[in-house]
Structure 1
Amino acid sequence: MIQKIKKGLKKRKVKVFFVFFLCSALIWFINKLSRTYVSGAHFDLEFVNMPEGYLFEKASKTEVDVKLRAGGFQFLRFNFINKRVYVDLSELPTNGESFYATPDTYRRQIENQLPNTMALLEIDNDTLFFQMLAVKTKKVPVKPNVELDLVKNYLLDGKMTVIPDSISITGPAEEIDSIDFVKSDKIVLPDLAAGFSKKVDLLQSPELENTTYSTYQVNIKGEIARFSEKIFKLPIKKVNFPEGAQVRTFPEMASVLCKAKMKRLKDIEESDFQVIVDYNSIKSSNKDVIPLKLNKKPEEVHSAKLLENEVEFIIKREE
């Protein structure tokens, strides 16, 4: 029994010893971190805000060595964060061929990004040189690449809408001068019987490695409506024939196939169309046929087309 008590006391002393040891070590560690230290470090440089009309290519160096003064706690935290600082290139001086940033210029920028408890004592004394590529900007339209598979008796009502319908592209003249439009990625929309709205990426050629787009995605919309069709038989009007000439066509009526939404189609009348034959189109020819022309058609229809392209005719002149 006495032996068990002795062993228990011994274990308790060991535990107490470790508690005091850990507390002492923690106090020592905190005391050390509370002091001010001077230490070397290096920052990775990231370049932002390119000068207008230029594209960044490369810099003479992408990291810089520094000497810092800060508290131990600050250094401890500093070792766990990304040591990256930004260099603003928007107002760089130039010697006419290249852009550069003096040590004073980027030192001030780095100091502004450090916490108030950290001081920058020394920095590399190297001027940073930058290679820039002269670029220009132009506006080009966006062409949608959409394959529609519509349900029977349904058609695209009007044109597809692209938002935005044009974008700005920025790049070297040799890359963008030949670009007249930008195409969207192809999308296939099967079994459509209702309107659609799709976000689509824009295609960019691998050859445009130094060209950027103002946006890389557009929204393509389209309205789908149910359509019907009707054939209208219309008289043929003769124009520009010699005065007094009697003209007869074979046949004397023309057929026009009109496609429109069902409600609209009910309101369309023959008087909304006009089919003509123009003497000026054949007066220098000896043919006995004359082309038909749909000279007038109603608004808000999907399509209206002649089923015959030409008719035979005879002219009888007064003697």
Structure 2
Amino acid sequence: MAIIKLSRVERRRISAFFTCLVLAVVAWIFVTMSNNYTFPVKVALNYKNQPLRKAFYALQADTVTALVSGTGWQKLFANITSTQNRRITVDLKKLETQNFIVLSNQLPFINQKSDRSKQIISFNPDTVYFDFTARKVKRVPVKLQYQISYQNQYARSDDISLKPDFVTVSGPAAYVDSVSSWKTDSLIVKKANANISAKLNLFLPKENNVSIYPKTIAVTIPVDEFTEKTLEIPIKLINNKSYSKVTLFPKKVKVTFTVSLNNYSEVNTDFFEAVADLDDWQKNGLVILPVKLKQQPDYCKIVSIQPNNVNFIVRK
């Protein structure tokens, strides 16, 4: 194979040629992408000034195609950006007297809120029709979504506080009637060893005709170091309907549990209720009665119950 040997001058000329070629291509791309074009973009509709006395349903999807005037760069990035990140706000004030909104009538307001170099020319469809139903308001409890892990010997030491713990939902009666609670965003904490305080957003409604108030809540979760404690709890006999006297042996059980250092001195036998069910003998034929804890603080974790079962003597 022949090997072409180039002189130093020739190598310089070839290098200069390719450098100029690359610069020319870059300049051409820059000029081309800087020109103005019209191109379609999918946009999601947000609504404001919703009717107060009636709920509404859009009779088509909450997205429309907008014909946009912009540069080639904007056209390129428009194809990359998600529809959820391209939103326009539509005023629904005229729904008080009609059941449709003409989007092109609001173009000056919409374009005023948009980038001046990327203006909307028209919409398809241009008219959005609505159906109406009775509107209802309801208060429902907030449901906290959380994932919390704790350092060794640490745990939640008391009830979780949500402020406010109710949210007001407003929307179509059929939808509102189906709502029993409202979720928060997820609270994620790892290796917690101190009280947790946070502000969380509530999930936003997917439907444009549903609104919630408030949209954020304050969360407080008390966290403390835990240790073990043992108490002797009296056993209460239940479901004794036929006998004048039933004697249990023993009459108390030792309950060992973990409790926070702050609550250690406060937690006493009044916080617990241990029961033995006589139906376990009368109906199920057991010769010893299992001991069950019917009441305990939810922030105390039971380690052991001694004994687990008790003997009994029945007298008519």
Query: For each residue in 1:149-203, what CA deviation from the matched residue of structure 2 results, as whole angstroms up to 9, or x when unmatched?
Result: 1122222122222222121222223433322111111121112111122222222
Look at both structures and tell me which one has the larger radius of gyration over its CA atoms: 1
Equivalence for 2:230: 231
CA positional deviation for 1:224 = 1.4
Equivalence for 2:311: 313
Equivalence for 1:258: 257
2:300 aligned with 1:303, yes or no?
Answer: yes
Q: Secondary structure at the match of 1:143?
A: strand
2:131 aligned with 1:164, yes or no?
Answer: no
- Contact 2:291–2:310 at 8 Å: present in 1 too? no
2:243 aligned with 1:242, yes or no?
Answer: yes
Q: Secondary structure at the match of 1:144?
A: strand
**How many equivalent residue pairs?**
213
Letter in 2 for 1:307: I
- Contact 2:55–2:209 at 8 Å: present in 1 too? no
Mapped partners of 1:48, 1:151: distance in 2: 46
Q: Secondary structure at the match of 2:175?
A: helix
2:198 aligned with 1:201, yes or no?
Answer: no
- Contact 1:170–1:211 at 8 Å: present in 2 too? yes
Gaps of 5+ in 2: 1-46, 60-90, 102-127
Change (3 A) 1:133 1:311: same
Mapped partners of 1:48, 1:155: distance in 2: 44
Mapped partners of 1:171, 1:204: distance in 2: 13
- Contact 1:259–1:301 at 8 Å: present in 2 too? no
Equivalence for 2:290: 291
Mapped partners of 1:237, 1:145: distance in 2: 37
- Contact 1:258–1:301 at 8 Å: present in 2 too? no
- Contact 1:169–1:213 at 8 Å: present in 2 too? yes
Query: For each residue in 1:97-121, what CA deviation from the matched residue of structure 2 results, as whole angstroms up to 9, or x when unmatched?
Result: x599xxxxxxxxxxxxxxxxxxxxx
- Contact 2:157–2:259 at 8 Å: present in 1 too? no
Query: For each residue in 1:106-144, what CA deviation from the matched residue of structure 2 results, as whole angstroms up to 9, or x when unmatched?
Result: xxxxxxxxxxxxxxxxxxxxxxx9856333222221111
Mapped partners of 1:273, 1:57: distance in 2: 55
Mapped partners of 2:236, 2:159: distance in 1: 32
- Contact 2:272–2:293 at 8 Å: present in 1 too? yes
Mapped partners of 1:272, 1:130: distance in 2: 60
Change (3 A) 1:174 1:303: same
2:164 aligned with 1:133, yes or no?
Answer: no
Correspondence list, 1:50-69, <5 A: 50-52=50-52, 53-55=54-56
Change (3 A) 1:243 1:150: same
Change (3 A) 1:256 1:93: same
CA positional deviation for 1:268 = 5.4
CA positional deviation for 1:290 = 1.0
TM-score of the superposed pair, with normalisation by structure 1:
0.51
Equivalence for 1:282: 281
Letter in 2 for 1:311: N
- Contact 1:289–1:310 at 8 Å: present in 2 too? no
Letter in 2 for 1:182: W
Mapped partners of 2:199, 2:185: distance in 1: 10
- Contact 2:58–2:130 at 8 Å: present in 1 too? yes
Mapped partners of 2:159, 2:245: distance in 1: 46
TM-score of the superposed pair, with normalisation by structure 2:
0.52
Change (3 A) 1:87 1:149: closer
Mapped partners of 1:248, 1:174: distance in 2: 55
Mapped partners of 1:141, 1:275: distance in 2: 31
Mapped partners of 1:88, 1:270: distance in 2: 62
Identity %: 19
- Contact 1:160–1:223 at 8 Å: present in 2 too? yes
